[in-house]
Copies of this chain bind each other. A is one copy, B any other.
Amino acid sequence: MDTAVAAGNDGSDFPQADSSAMAGAAAWPKHSEARERLLQTASDLFYREGIHSVGIDRIIAEARVTRATLYRHFPGKEQLVAAYLLGEDTALRDSIAAAVASIPPDKILDAILEGIADDIGRHHTRGCPFINAAAEFPDPTSEVRRIVDEHRRWFRSSLEQALESAGHSSPKAGAASLVLLRDAALVGGYLDGVEATRAAFIRTAKTVLAAD
């Protein structure tokens, strides 16, 4: 697998996304270079190879940090996994916020759909990080699952808002359908091929939007 398509905290690409959000990110507390290298490496490995398949030894070797550095910044592996997922969540939230800030309400849905279609070919080529993590963490009370659930709640409600501001007649039902299709696009892009999935996703989503 080509490292150029590795997932990390580089977010999804949405058409016409404004890069001014990146300037805002510079105001965040700055973590050490080693910590960032660690988290980036772990995130890549977790997304590309799965979470339980990748051990601490592998992560620190590839990140070129020591064990002590890892445990200094993260109390345990599960917290490292949580940080990976929160990174993915933040990146997508930033992308959606940027798109909403720069695209008129009547165009935002198309932009989101295009963004999803683009994402499955450019970044999330190994499925959805949240769905994949949920496959490996069956315990609904775990922190991983809490993050997954919160992410999905946010995404659904973002779609509802977009549908509402676009004047859609049933934003809740429309969002429910689009969440289904988003999930399916990520799974299908990984397992059935990007091009065919992209076409089916767009066509089906348009059908759904046109039906209301």
Interface majority SS (helix, strand, loop, mixed), chain A? helix
Please, which residues of chain B bring their CB within 8 A of the CB of A210?
211
Partner pick for A187 among B177, B183, B190, B201, CB 8 A cutoff: B183
A204 at interface by CB-CB < 8 Å = yes
A120 vs chain B, min Cβ distance (A):
12
Cα A148 to Cα B187 in complex, Å, equals 12
| Listed stretches A67-75, A82-90, A101-109, A133-141; interface member | A133-141
| Listed stretches A12-20, A31-39, A46-54, A110-118; interface member | A46-54
A203 at interface by CB-CB < 8 Å = yes
Residue of B nearest to A53 (CB): B52
Contact B204–A192 (Cβ < 8 Å): no
Please, which residues of chain B bring their CB within 8 A of the CB of A211?
207, 210-211
Q: Identify the A interface with B (CB < 8 A).
A: 1, 48-50, 52-53, 126-127, 131-132, 134-138, 148-149, 152, 156, 173, 176-177, 179-181, 183-185, 187-188, 190-192, 196-197, 199-201, 203-204, 207-208, 210-211
